A and B are shown apart, each in its own frame.
Chain A
């Protein structure tokens, strides 16, 4: 990549000034087209789809937003956050509390802001620890927040859960979540190509090395974590109106965080489109199977997560033609080895019986 000096012609300098913050614009156009096409399809859904189809797509979009924003931070830096449910719930509660007083747009914005604030506080305390401690701590914090909200509800308001009376109509919610999903994908696409994204990738590759090259890792991590939280909070605020009655158990359901992590890991933790495709697949599965046999479904998900981590740590997106070739070669090699062993064993037996040279 060239670096521009004052001796370069004016149009080159102008271009650098406008787009200099974008490190690499290759593929940006292609990605944007795909996003555009998917958005168009999703926009059309409320008009010709059945109620069930719309509900399904809504869940899809929710997980697209959650998984994409999760991957943006956690995928690059490899700090695996198990706190998505916490931020979702915080957004939901913020939304439920404020929906009577503020406009819809503000409610979403506030849900995002409160979640981001909590993330900044949490992150400042916790992000300097190693990746595993961070993951366990986010897990602990999620449970802590859930118990805290439950306790607060019991003690302060005397009830657990609140009923939402004024809710916007279905299409508004749908469009909002769609907007958030598109925003999440767009932000992902852009961040990957900026210095911020490079810093995140550097932290994931070798944090100490990145520090010695000038990256303020603490700040970058907190910013990334807050970004991911903001999306989860916004989505939570939007989705809170789907259930006319919310309580801590529903909105702080660890399943939301679990499904998000699962989708991101299976889709391909370092890629953009992997989580998106996986989000679609899993949302479909969730909405169709989960209601039939919820425990069996969750068991299958747990098993799937284990298998994915064991055999496909890069997710589906890391499946390349080369991996299939490699597997095929491995199997062939194993087969040949077996045959060779069998032949050797047979020959030894012959020699034992009839002497060498038979």
Chain B
């Protein structure tokens, strides 16, 4: 790989009619990183993801993938370069079967990209995310947490290099969050992915990620190792509270 980071955001700002959702956030992501993004509600995390995946063109700032300028390109270009994402509220194709949903990505962005053996067809992917038993059900008929797993499967079908996961563990029990985190870790290790993960289950996330970015009111207020970030005074005041420090 060339010397450029896999994905780089430079002073990305997203403004909606006077409301600044993302405020000059810069971050670079290298291959193989497992990064967590945390922050209070309304901190701009999902909007930042929208910018990173091309869904929301930034009002100002630049986005680069491996040195190639991507700012303002359509989402399918991002997908073609290997940037895949899930949506916070699952957006699956309800009328299609679970297998067909996963197959969709394989037919388009994932079609000409070399894939690991784990991602060779929709059944393997379903097996990885644990939905092999539901393969023929319509996607609208499975439970919301299964739909979240399907979202991950659909993203994996594009055979990405970088996976943006948006609150995939919402609504899960603590044990389930833990297995989800292990799955994510495993995906990163076995598929050679970079994973950026937004989550509210901060304790679990901090256990598994290697780097944490904290967003607050659109700005990045911390970026580093979990152990350092939890001691950051601004982060504690804005989000974590004193209990976190004791846990870390």
Q: Which of B55-91 contact A (CB under 8 A)?
A: 55, 74-76, 78-80, 84-85, 87, 91
Q: How many angstroms from the CA of A217 to the CA of B80 in the assembled complex?
A: 13
B36 within 8 A of A: no
Given A3-B121, A195-B108, also A213-B158 (CB < 8 A)? yes
CB pair A205–B95 under 8 Å, yes or no, is yes
* Residue from the list B74, B79, B84, B94 in contact with A218, Cβ < 8 A: B74
* Residue from the list A2, A205, A206, A211 in contact with B75, Cβ < 8 A: A211
* Residue from the list B91, B106, B120, B121 in contact with A209, Cβ < 8 A: B91
A214 within 8 A of B: yes
Q: How many angstroms from the CA of A23 to the CA of B55 in the assembled complex?
A: 28
What size tier do the contact residues of chain A reach?
Answer: 20 to 34
CB pair B55–A198 under 8 Å, yes or no, is no
A212 within 8 A of B: yes
B206 within 8 A of A: no
Inter-chain contacts of A205 with B (CB < 8 A): 93-96
Chain A residue nearest to B121 (CB atoms) is A3
Chain A residue nearest to B109 (CB atoms) is A214
CB pair B93–A212 under 8 Å, yes or no, is no
A262 within 8 A of B: no
A173 within 8 A of B: no
CB pair A213–B103 under 8 Å, yes or no, is no
CB pair B120–A202 under 8 Å, yes or no, is no
A215 within 8 A of B: yes
Q: How many angstroms from the CA of A217 to the CA of B54 in the assembled complex?
A: 14
* Residue from the list A2, A195, A211, A216 in contact with B121, Cβ < 8 A: A2
CB pair B93–A214 under 8 Å, yes or no, is no
Chain A residue nearest to B139 (CB atoms) is A205
Q: How many angstroms from the CA of A216 to the CA of B107 in the assembled complex?
A: 12
Given A195-B108, A198-B104, A205-B95, also A216-B120 (CB < 8 A)? no
Inter-chain contacts of B105 with A (CB < 8 A): 213-214
Interface centre among B53, B75, B79 (most CB of A within 10 A): B75
CB pair A214–B79 under 8 Å, yes or no, is yes
Inter-chain contacts of B95 with A (CB < 8 A): 205
A291 within 8 A of B: no
B43 within 8 A of A: no
Q: Which of B80-139 contact A (CB under 8 A)?
A: 80, 84-85, 87, 91, 93-96, 103-111, 120-122
CB pair B74–A216 under 8 Å, yes or no, is yes
Chain A residue nearest to B151 (CB atoms) is A209
- What is the minimal beta-carbon distance from B153 to any residue of chain A, in angstroms? 11
* Residue from the list A210, A211, A214 in contact with B110, Cβ < 8 A: A214
Chain B residues at the A interface, C-beta cutoff of 8 Å: 53-55, 74-76, 78-80, 84-85, 87, 91, 93-96, 103-111, 120-122, 154, 157-158
Shortest 9 CB-CB contacts between residues of A and residues of B? A214-B109, A214-B108, A211-B75, A214-B79, A3-B121, A205-B93, A213-B105, A209-B91, A212-B75
